[in-house]
Structure 1
Amino acid sequence: MKLHKIAISVLLVGVVSACSVTPEYQAPATPVATQYLYQDTVTTPQADEVASDHWWLAFNDPVLNQLVEQGQQQNIPLQMAARQIRSAQAYQQAIASFKVPTVSIGAGYTSYGISENDPLLGPAVTASNPMTGESLNLVDDSSGAFLAGANISWEMDLFGRIEAQSQAASIRVEQAEIFRQGLTTSITADIVSNYLQLRGAQARLAIAERNIDEQSTTLALVKQLEKSGFGSAMDVAKASSLLAATQAVSPQLKTAEKVHFHRLALLLGTTPSQLGTQLNQAAPLPEQAISIPLGLPSELLQRRPDIALAEREMAAINQDVGAAIAAKYPRFFLSGSPGLVAKDFGDLFNSDSAAWIGSVGVQWNVFDGGRSDAVVALNENRFKSSVLAYQQSVNTAITEVETWLMAYGNSQQYQTSIALASAKAEQALNKAHTLYQSGLIDHLQVLDAQRQQNALQDAEIVAQLQTWQSVVELHKALGGDWQVTPAEHGGNAVTP
C-alpha cells in the first residue's frame, strides 16, 4: 500500500508539473508586393478574383475533362502518394501510442524442482530432526503454480518529449497530404499540356497534308506547262522543292502526335494500346478565351503546395528541437504487475490468490560527452535552414508567376500579330488567284502566295499552342487544389 501511495503521489506531481520545453512556433512573416509585375500587360487576368482551381473546364472539351478525371484516379505516382499518406498516418499513430500506458496480459503454469545439492536451498529441502535424528522436509522439493496477470508500464511525459515527437509525426501526415495535392497539380497540368500539344500536332498535320495536296497539284500543273513550252525546268525545281520541304514536315508532326499520345497514356496509368482510339481522331484546338484571376501575391502563401510543404517542414523541425531538448531532462516511469497465483487451478480466481508488484523509476543521462547538446544544436540549425528554404519557396513562387505572366502577355501579342498576318496572307492568296485567272501574273507568284499563307496558318497554330502552354504554366504557378470528382464534369465526360 505504501508503494501504491508513492506511485499516486509521483503521478500527481507529474501531471501538475508537466510542461513542454518545445520552442513556440510561428511562421516567419514574409513581405510580398501588392501586385505582380507585368500584371497590366495582359488582357484577360483579373487581379481582384481568386485563381480558379478547375480552370481547364473553360476549354469546354469533354475529352480533356475525362482525361483529367481519369488521370487523377489512375496515375501511378498519385496512387503511390496516397499510400505514403497512409504510411505517415500509421507512423503517427505508432508514435502517439507512447503517450498512453502499455498493457500486456499473460497466463501460464510454472513447475519447479529444488536440488538437494543446491548450496542455498538444498539444506532446506532435507534436514535432520535434532531430537530424533529423522530426516525432515522443510519445503517441497518440487511444486508448481498457475499464473495469470498483467504488466502495465508508462513513461510520464513530464517535459513533452513524446508529445513533440507525436506532433512532428502528425505534421508529416499533413506534408504527405500536401505533397499529393502538389503532385495532383503537376500531373493535371501535364495532362492538359500534352492533350493540347496532341491536338496542336494533329491540326498542324492536317494543314501540312492539305498543303501537300495543293502543292502536288501545283507541281503537276508546272510540269504540264513545261511540256507545253510555257514553263521552265527552274519552275519545276521550285515547285518540287516546296513540295519536298512540306512532305518532310509530315513525319515530324506524326512523331510529335504519337509522343504526346504515349505521354498521356503514361500519365493516365495505362499503355498506348489500352488508351483508346478517340484521341487519334483530330479535333480543333480550343478557341474560347480563358480568364486568369490572379488574386493577390499574398494568396500564393496559401495556394502553393511547395510553400505549404516548406512551412510545415519548419513546424515539424521545431517539434524535433523540442524533443531533443526534452531528452536532456529526466524520464520517469511507472510500472505494475497485478496478477493471480495459485497451486491449483480451481483456486486461481479466489481473492486470496491475488498478487502484485509495482515500481517507480527515473532515468537521467547526467553525462553523455555532449551528445544531447549536439543533437539540440543539430535540430536548431535544421530549423534555421528550413526558414531559409521557406523564403526561397516564396521567392520562387512569385518569380514563376511573374515569369509566366510576362510570357502569357507576350504570347497573346504574338498570337494576335500572327492571326492578323495569316488573314492578310489569305487575302493576298485570293488576290493572286484572281490576277492569275486574269493573266496578269504567272503561277509562280500564286505559288509564292500559297506558300506564305500555308506557313502562316501553321505559325498561327504554333502561336495558339504557345498561348495555351503559358496558360497551363501560369495556372500551375498560381497553385490551388485541382482535385476533381466525376460529378463536377456532369454529362460532358466521355471515354477517351
Structure 2
Amino acid sequence: MKLIKLAPLAIAMMLSGCAVGPDYTQPTSTLETEYLYQGVQGTQAGQYAEQTDNAWWKSFEDPTLNQLVLDAQNQAIPLKIAAQRIRMAQSYQSTIESFKVPTVNIGAGFGNFQISENDPLLGGAITAKHPVSGEELGLVEDNNSAFFVGATIAWEVDLFGRIDRQASAAAIRKEQMVIMREGLTTLITSDVIHNYLQMRGAQERKKIALKTSDDQSKTLELVKLMVKSGYGSKLDESRAKAALAATKAVIPQLEIAENVHLQRLAILLGETPKQSHSRFKQDEPLPNFSGIIPTGLPADLLERRPDIRIAEREMAALNEERAAAIAAQYPKVFLTGAPGVLAKDFDDLFNSDSVSWLGSVGVSWNVFDGGRGDAIVEMQEARFDASVLSYQHSVIAAFGEVETLLHGYGQSQQYVALVSEASAETTNAVNKAQSLYKAGLSDYLSILDAQRQQNMMRDRVVAAKLQTANMTIALHKALGGNWQVNDAISQ
C-alpha cells in the first residue's frame, strides 16, 4: 500500500531531469590587452591590487569631502529607494520559488445539510416502503451534521523546469537590483564630489575677484588723484573704472554658481538647505588630487562597471525566461490530496475510523492555442538576441569612454601646468609694470593691462584645476568599481 502511495512521487523525481530550454553561457568579449593612452601622467596600468582602496576621493585630503560622501551614502533618498527595490526583488524571488513546493491549506469546521424528500436521487430513500410489509423505512437521514478537520494539498510537478527557470530569472533580477544600487552609489558619490569641488572652486574664484576688485578700487583712487594733479588723463581714469566694473560683474555670477552647488549638495544629502549650508566654512581652499589612478586592464571593465554587469545579468535573466516559455509548451502534471477526519459527533472526530482522504493525479497540456505559445517563445528569443547586442554595445562604449577620459586626463594636467606657469609670469609682469610706472617710464595703461592679465590667469588656474578634478571623477567612474564605504548602509 505504501509503495502505491509513493509511486507518483517517485515518477516525478525520475522525470525531474527533463528540463528543457537553452542553458546560459556567460559571454566572452575580445578586448585589447592595454589602453591606448594608459601611460598618461598620474595613472598606473596593470591589474588592480586587492587592497586598492575604493574610496579614492580620500586622495583629495579633505575631511569635509570625506564626511559628505559618507553621509550621502547613508542618507541619500534614492539609495534608500534602491534598497527597498532590492527587498521587493527578493520577495518576488521567494514568491516564485514557493511554487516549487506543495501548497498546503488546513481547515476545520462544522457542517449541516437537509435532504429534500423531493430530491430525484436521495428523496426516495428517505420515504422508502418495505416491499412486503409496506412499512415506511428511513434508509437515509434527511438531516445530517458533521465535524471535520482536514487539509488540501496541491503541487505542480515541475517536470520540464518551467518553475525552476522562472525562479532562476527572479534570482537574477534581484542580482540586477543589487548591482543597480551599487551603480547608483557611484553616481551619487560622484555628484557629491563634483558639486563640492565646484562649490569650492566658485568660492575661490570669488575670493580672487574680490581681492582684484579691492586692488582695482585703490588703483582707481590713485588715478583720480593723478588726474586732478594734472599728471594723469581721463582716458586712464575711464579704463580703470571699466576694469573695476568688469571685475565686479563677475562676482554675482560666482555667487550664483556657489549657491547652485550648495543646493544640489543638500538634495544629494537628503537635507534641507539650512542643514547643508551649516557644514561648510568659507575659508577652505579648493583641494587638489594627489593620488594615482589605477587603470587596470581593459578586461577588468567587464567585472567592475555596473552597466556592463547589468547588461550581462539581463542576458542571463532573459535566457531563463526564454527557457520557461519553451517549458510552458510541455504538459503540466498536478498532484492533489485532501486528507482529513470527518465525524458526526465531535468526540469521534479523531477516532481512527473517522479518517478520510482523497488523492488525484492530473495532466494539463495545451495542444492548440492558435500559435500563441510559439509567438511567446519567439518574442523571448528576440528579447534575448537584443540583450546580446545591448551587452556588446555597453562593452564597446565603456572601452571608448575610458580611452577618451584617459586622454583628456593627461591633457588637462598639462593645461594646469601651463596655465600655472602663465599665471606666475603675469604676477612678474604686474610687478615690473608698477616699477616702470613709478619711475615715470610708462603710463598707467600698462599696469591696468598687466592686472587684467593677472586676474584672468588666476581665474584660469582655478578653472583648470576644476577641469582636471572633473576628469579625475569621470575617469574613476568610467573604470567602475564599488564605491560604497564600509560605514555606509548595506543592502
Range into which the TM-score falls when normalised by the shorter chain: over 0.9
CA distance in 2, matches of 1:334, 1:128: 44
SS at match of 2:280: helix
Q: Deviations over 1:319-373 (max 9, x none)?
A: 0111011111111111111100000001101111100010011111111111111
CA distance in 1, matches of 2:362, 2:160: 16
1:227 corresponds to: 228
CA contact 1:45–1:291 (8 Å) conserved in 2: yes
Q: Partner letter of residue 329 of structure 1?
A: Y
CA contact 1:116–1:122 (8 Å) conserved in 2: yes
2:36 corresponds to: 37
TM-score, length-scaled by structure 2: 0.96
Q: Partner letter of residue 23 of structure 1?
A: P
CA contact 2:315–2:388 (8 Å) conserved in 1: yes
CA distance in 1, matches of 2:53, 2:30: 24
What is the Cα deviation at residue 449 of structure 1?
Answer: 1.2
CA contact 2:223–2:236 (8 Å) conserved in 1: yes
CA distance in 2, matches of 1:455, 1:437: 24
What is the Cα deviation at residue 440 of structure 1?
Answer: 2.4
1:179 corresponds to: 180
CA contact 2:190–2:473 (8 Å) conserved in 1: yes
1:27 paired with 2:34, answer no
SS at match of 2:293: coil
What is the Cα deviation at residue 309 of structure 1?
Answer: 0.1
Residue 159 to residue 7, structure 1, CA distance change in 2 (3 Å): farther
SS at match of 1:270: coil
2:10 corresponds to: 12
Q: Partner letter of residue 151 of structure 1?
A: T
What is the Cα deviation at residue 487 of structure 1?
Answer: 9.0
CA distance in 2, matches of 1:454, 1:249: 11
Alignment of 1:317-466 (within 5 A): 317-466=318-467
Question: Structure 1 residues 20-29 or 82-91, which shifts more?
Answer: 20-29
Q: Partner letter of residue 32 of structure 2?
A: A
Q: Partner letter of residue 299 of structure 1?
A: D
Question: Structure 1 residues 128-137 or 51-60, which shifts more?
Answer: 128-137
CA contact 1:199–1:282 (8 Å) conserved in 2: no
Q: Partner letter of residue 21 of structure 1?
A: V
Q: Deviations over 1:436-461 (max 9, x none)?
A: 33332233322221111111001000
Q: Partner letter of residue 362 of structure 1?
A: V
Q: Partner letter of residue 30 of structure 1?
A: S
Q: Deviations over 1:220-258 (max 9, x none)?
A: 111111111111111111011001100100000000000
CA distance in 2, matches of 1:272, 1:304: 33
1:255 corresponds to: 256
Q: Partner letter of residue 113 of structure 2?
A: Y
CA contact 1:151–1:336 (8 Å) conserved in 2: yes
SS at match of 1:46: strand
CA contact 2:289–2:469 (8 Å) conserved in 1: no
SS at match of 2:313: helix
CA distance in 2, matches of 1:258, 1:276: 9
Alignment of 1:138-157 (within 5 A): 138-157=139-158
CA contact 1:301–1:308 (8 Å) conserved in 2: yes
CA contact 2:73–2:488 (8 Å) conserved in 1: no
SS at match of 2:140: coil
What is the Cα deviation at residue 25 of structure 1?
Answer: 1.0
CA distance in 2, matches of 1:71, 1:28: 35
CA distance in 2, matches of 1:394, 1:159: 34
TM-score, length-scaled by structure 1: 0.95
What is the Cα deviation at residue 52 of structure 1?
Answer: 4.9
Question: Structure 1 residues 467-476 or 24-33, which shifts more?
Answer: 24-33
Q: Partner letter of residue 440 of structure 1?
A: L
CA contact 2:55–2:483 (8 Å) conserved in 1: yes
CA contact 2:74–2:488 (8 Å) conserved in 1: no
What is the Cα deviation at residue 49 of structure 1?
Answer: 4.6
CA contact 1:52–1:293 (8 Å) conserved in 2: no
CA distance in 2, matches of 1:240, 1:272: 37
Dislocated runs of 4+, deviation >4 Å: 4-7
1:216 corresponds to: 217
CA distance in 2, matches of 1:346, 1:156: 38
Q: Partner letter of residue 43 of structure 2?
A: P
What is the Cα deviation at residue 273 of structure 1?
Answer: 1.7
2:117 corresponds to: 116
What is the Cα deviation at residue 482 of structure 1?
Answer: 0.3
Question: Structure 1 residues 412-421 or 127-136, which shifts more?
Answer: 127-136
CA distance in 1, matches of 2:131, 2:76: 91
Over aligned residues, Cα RMSD in angstroms?
1.5
Question: Structure 1 residues 50-59 or 327-336, which shifts more?
Answer: 50-59
1:492 corresponds to: none
CA contact 1:7–1:334 (8 Å) conserved in 2: no
CA distance in 2, matches of 1:11, 1:98: 16
Aligned length, in residue pairs = 485
2:160 corresponds to: 159
CA distance in 2, matches of 1:351, 1:7: 19
Residue 43 to residue 427, structure 1, CA distance change in 2 (3 Å): same
SS at match of 1:293: strand
CA distance in 2, matches of 1:371, 1:170: 27
CA contact 1:7–1:360 (8 Å) conserved in 2: no
What is the Cα deviation at residue 431 of structure 1?
Answer: 1.9
CA distance in 1, matches of 2:121, 2:19: 51
CA distance in 2, matches of 1:341, 1:288: 80
Q: Partner letter of residue 479 of structure 1?
A: G
1:169 corresponds to: 170
CA contact 1:112–1:142 (8 Å) conserved in 2: yes
CA distance in 1, matches of 2:99, 2:10: 19
CA contact 1:22–1:164 (8 Å) conserved in 2: no
Gaps of 5+ in 1: 489-496
CA distance in 2, matches of 1:214, 1:7: 100
Q: Partner letter of residue 46 of structure 1?
A: Q
CA distance in 2, matches of 1:381, 1:109: 55
What is the Cα deviation at residue 5 of structure 1?
Answer: 5.0
Q: Partner letter of residue 38 of structure 1?
A: Y
CA contact 2:236–2:444 (8 Å) conserved in 1: no
2:86 corresponds to: 85
What is the Cα deviation at residue 13 of structure 1?
Answer: 2.0
What is the Cα deviation at residue 164 of structure 1?
Answer: 0.1
CA contact 2:72–2:268 (8 Å) conserved in 1: yes
Gaps of 5+ in 2: none
1:76 corresponds to: 77
What is the Cα deviation at residue 132 of structure 1?
Answer: 3.3
What is the Cα deviation at residue 6 of structure 1?
Answer: 5.0
CA distance in 2, matches of 1:245, 1:107: 89
SS at match of 1:395: helix
SS at match of 2:105: strand
